[in-house]
């Protein structure tokens, strides 16, 4: 080997001179030595993290000791290191992604997600390309959009699109093809979820805690650039999988607005939704137990924001659903929740009462038939519910800066025939 290098050096020296040859060899040498050292360094870091992964997992789920005995700890989601993707701040602030969340079930999250998506995509003044993401393995949003039975279920032997999206190993173009078009409104597309998502939520948590290395999706040029910059080893980071996908150029170009229906638990899916979203809307019933859950959820969001996991997430606010305006008790509950929120100095408050979705049988019956918005008519309660949905949807759109169709564009559509797909 040394003889070979000497021979090369002598040949070079004959051709380009002694000094230039020494200089050229020094450059070539360091171009080989530095990446090799960086690669070895990366492998050492990987081995170190592998060695520590058990401790890391047990530390994250472990209890804390207090003078009164052991108590549950802070939970797993604030685990360090936190490694958001490149350009994360700009991507979040520049996106229009709304998480609809509350850790309590039955408070109207799914109903509100589907109905405001329906209005903003279908109404001629809005015509937005909306992506609805179902992150609850019960699939109630999916079955609401596709009430005709089985068409939305993942084919036998495959996972649901929600699982693919959270797993972080789907290319944006494949993801876009897998989103299903609503049978009523082609501008509305859905990422469907099914029971495989329950297993995926657990798998993602365990793999991340144990620092399992994911498939490396960087292209060769990127890998080499990272190697030169000493970033050959990237610790496992699952919390931003959905953010990376939804902030990708392909997804941003295809949708004006993304609405994520979260499950009533702090799952891997909920955390990924909060990390990907620019805004969060919190539906609640106006009774005492639901009020407590809103305040506790706000505390959890604040904890996540303060630890740097989703620091740019903003509140749209809190909205009442299944609202019985004629029963005066709701006002007391609303004020109590607002007082608690004010005590904490949070930038979060109740939306105007005109946005509260009234309790009506029309919403229940229609949700089994499809999204209620498309068939709410024929009675005063149905008309009131529709009016509330429209007011809520337009209030949300204004808060997250989704614009209406400009009037000149609407006028133009009346003149020009719509191109067939």
Binding site for ligand ADP (CB under 6 A): 105-111, 140, 321-322, 357-360, 363-364, 367
* Binding to Mg ion, residues 298-337 (CB under 5 A): none
Residue with Cβ nearer ligand ADP (57 or 132): 132
CB of 263 to ligand ADP, least distance (A): 8
CB of 134 to ligand ADP, least distance (A): 10
Maximum pairwise Cα distance, the chain: 98
266: tokens are 């702090």
Q: Strand 130-134 and strand 314-320: pairing?
A: unpaired
Residue 111 binds which of ligand ADP, Mg ion, none (CB < 5-8 A, kind-dependent): ligand ADP
Residue 360 binds which of Mg ion, ligand ADP, none (CB < 5-8 A, kind-dependent): ligand ADP
CB of 181 to ligand ADP, least distance (A): 22
CA dist., res. 342 & res. 67, Å (int): 31
Q: Strand 63-66 and strand 180-181: pairing?
A: unpaired
Of residues 123, 266, 258, 136, the one with CA closest to residue 197: 136
* Site track for Mg ion across 6-35, x = CB under 5 A: ------------------------------
- SS3 helix, strand, coil % of the chain, rounded to 5? 55, 10, 35
CB of 391 to Mg ion, least distance (A): 22
CB of 389 to ligand ADP, least distance (A): 9
CB of 287 to Mg ion, least distance (A): 18
205: tokens are 């948590």
Residue 308 binds which of Mg ion, ligand ADP, none (CB < 5-8 A, kind-dependent): none
CB of 133 to Mg ion, least distance (A): 12
Residue with Cβ nearer ligand ADP (21 or 271): 271
Residue with Cβ nearer Mg ion (89 or 265): 265
Phi-psi group of 295: left, alpha or beta (phi > 0 → left; psi -120 to 50 → alpha; rest → beta): alpha
CB of 388 to ligand ADP, least distance (A): 8
251: tokens are 């997804």
DSSP one-letter string for 130-191: EEEEE--TT-HHHHHH-TTSSTTSPPTTS--HHHHHHHT---HHHHHHHSEEPSS-TTEEEE
Q: Quote the Cα angle for 381-138-247, to 5°.
A: 90
CA dist., res. 316 & res. 210, Å (int): 35
Residue 161 binds which of ligand ADP, Mg ion, none (CB < 5-8 A, kind-dependent): none
Q: Strand 257-261 and strand 180-181: pairing?
A: unpaired
* Site track for Mg ion across 84-123, x = CB under 5 A: -------------------------xx-------------
Residue 291 binds which of Mg ion, ligand ADP, none (CB < 5-8 A, kind-dependent): none
Total binding residues toward Mg ion, as defined by CB under 5 A: 2
Residue with Cβ nearer Mg ion (132 or 209): 132
Residue 225 binds which of Mg ion, ligand ADP, none (CB < 5-8 A, kind-dependent): none
Of residues 274, 285, 337, the one with CA closest to residue 135: 274
Residue 279 binds which of ligand ADP, Mg ion, none (CB < 5-8 A, kind-dependent): none
Binding interface with Mg ion (CB under 5 A): 109-110
């Amino acid at each position: 080997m040394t003889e070979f290098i000497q021979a090369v050096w002598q040949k070079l020296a004959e051709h380009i001179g002694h000094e230039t040859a020494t200089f050229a060899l020094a450059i070539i040498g360091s171009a080989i030595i530095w990446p090799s050292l960086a690669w070895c360094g990366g492998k050492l870091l990987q081995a170190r993290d592998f060695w520590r992964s058990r401790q890391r997992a047990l530390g994250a789920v472990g209890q804390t000791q207090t003078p009164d005995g052991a108590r549950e700890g802070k939970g797993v989601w604030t685990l360090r290191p936190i490694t958001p993707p490149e350009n994360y701040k700009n991507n979040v602030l520049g996106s229009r992604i709304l998480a609809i969340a509350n850790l309590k079930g039955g408070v109207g999250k799914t109903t509100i997600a589907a109905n405001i998506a329906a209005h903003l995509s279908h109404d001629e003044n809005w015509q937005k390309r909306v992506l609805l993401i179902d992150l609850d393995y019960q699939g109630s949003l999916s079955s609401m959009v596709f009430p005709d039975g089985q068409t939305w279920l993942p084919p036998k032997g495959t996972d649901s699109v929600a699982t693919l999206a959270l797993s972080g190993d789907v290319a944006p173009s494949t993801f876009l093809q897998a989103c299903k078009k609503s049978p009523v409104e082609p501008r509305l597309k859905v990422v469907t979820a099914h029971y495989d998502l329950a297993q995926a939520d657990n798998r993602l948590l365990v793999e991340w805690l144990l620092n399992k290395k994911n498939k490396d999706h960087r292209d060769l040029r990127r890998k080499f650039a990272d190697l030169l910059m000493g970033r050959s080893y990237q610790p496992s980071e699952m919390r931003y999988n959905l953010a990376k996908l939804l902030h990708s150029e392909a997804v941003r170009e295809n949708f004006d607005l993304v609405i994520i229906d979260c499950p009533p638990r702090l799952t891997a899916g909920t955390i990924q939704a909060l990390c990907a979203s620019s805004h969060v809307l919190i539906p609640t019933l106006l009774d005492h137990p639901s009020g407590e859950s809103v305040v506790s959820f706000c505390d959890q969001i604040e904890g996540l924001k303060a630890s740097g996991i989703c620091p740019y997430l903003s509140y749209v606010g809190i909205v009442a659903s299944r609202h019985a305006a004629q029963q005066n008790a709701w006002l007391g509950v609303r004020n109590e929740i607002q007082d608690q929120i004010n005590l904490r100095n949070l930038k979060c408050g109740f939306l105007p009462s005109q946005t509260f979705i009234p309790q009506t049988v029309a919403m229940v019956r229609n949700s089994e038939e499809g999204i209620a918005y498309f068939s709410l008519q024929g009675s005063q309660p149905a008309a009131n519910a529709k009016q509330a949905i429209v007011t809520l949807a337009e209030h949300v759109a204004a808060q997250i800066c989704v614009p209406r169709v400009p009037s000149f564009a609407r006028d133009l559509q009346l003149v020009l025939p719509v191109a067939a797909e």
